[in-house]
């Protein structure tokens, strides 16, 4: 009953590639905000990369704002994911010759429009990140914005407690 009772037409938005979520939420839609939370090392960033790929596969342009990880590292994770390379090999600098060739081939074969734009949000206030998104969107229209690690973002405004920052 749970998912079925709140289902929407999955064609109204961009599918995220997970049938139950797409069914329940109707896919990503303009103006909608989703927040995914889970304990450390449960795959939130990996899921975000999967959602980015799903959106790109439907022709949507994607911006990933990374507020925790180095943008180069996140981009490398994306390459590993799409070249079927074990992330641990890349993290520890132990890529085999075959894995290096697979990554190089993927990068050579992939048009820029088939990769997400990755922006550095580390240590920036939400107001600055929003301005960065507007600037990037003006240069290259972005249809989906994904933010990795919301907890690292704060505001320039002063509030008595965290509730004021998220309202």
On average, the pLDDT of the chain sits at 86
| CA–CA separation, 59 and 141 (whole Å) | 12
Least confident of 27-41, 61-75, 114-128: 27-41
Query: What local confidence, expressed as pLDDT, does residue 126 receive?
Result: 93
pLDDT greater at residue 144 or residue 6: 144
Q: Is the dihedral of CA 21, 38, 155, 138 positive or negative?
A: negative
pTM over 0.75: yes
Question: What percentage of the chain carries pLDDT values higher than 90?
Answer: 50
């Amino acid at each position: 009953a749970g998912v079925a009772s709140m289902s929407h037409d999955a064609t109204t938005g961009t599918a995220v590639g997970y049938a139950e979520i797409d069914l329940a939420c109707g896919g990503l839609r303009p103006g909608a905000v989703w927040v995914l939370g889970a304990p450390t090392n449960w795959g939130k960033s990996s899921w975000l990369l999967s959602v980015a790929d799903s959106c790109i596969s439907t022709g949507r342009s994607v911006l990933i704002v990374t507020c925790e990880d180095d943008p180069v590292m996140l981009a490398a994770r994306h390459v590993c994911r799409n070249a079927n390379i074990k992330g641990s090999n890349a993290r520890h600098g132990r890529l085999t010759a075959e894995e290096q060739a697979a990554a190089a081939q993927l990068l050579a074969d992939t048009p820029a429009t088939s990769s997400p734009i990755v922006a550095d949000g580390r240590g920036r206030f939400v107001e600055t990140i929003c301005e960065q998104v507007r600037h990037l969107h003006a240069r290259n229209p972005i249809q989906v914005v994904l933010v990795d690690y919301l907890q690292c973002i704060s505001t320039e405004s002063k509030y008595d407690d965290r509730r004021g920052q998220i309202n």
